[in-house]
Amino acid sequence: MADLSPAALQVFWDFNRAASGKPDDWHYLPAIAAALRAAADQVAPLSTNRRQDDIRQKLLAIAAELEAFAQTDNVTTPA
């Protein structure tokens, strides 16, 4: 099973606690990824500013990781 990074896992757990209180609602992964992409567009739009671009890339990387994980058959609660 592919594990989520600490950053992606933290976003997932925090979202689930706020949304449902159910820590294993894996069907939320695409919604979380979409929210992160929207945040990246609003908070750190495409820019020549290196710091903004770094923030944007980190947000988009977490979103991509969550989307990829949602496409696997391994969407069970990580150990």
Question: pLDDT value at position 33?
Answer: 85
Q: Domain for residue 17, yes or no?
A: yes
How would DSSP label each residue in 3-46?
Answer: PPPHHHHHHHHHHHHHHTS-TT-GGGHHHHHHHHHHHHHHHS-S
DSSP state of 70: H
Identify whether 42 is part of a domain: yes
Q: How many domains are contained in the chain?
A: 1
**What is the tens place of the pLDDT at every residue in 38-75?**
888 877 777 778 888 898 898 899 889 888 888 876 65
CA dihedral 57, 45, 67, 14 (to 10 degrees): 90
Tens digits of residue pLDDT in 26-39: 777 788 888 888 88
63 — phi, psi (to 5°)? -60, -45
Question: Which residue range is the domain that position 26 belongs to?
Answer: 6-70
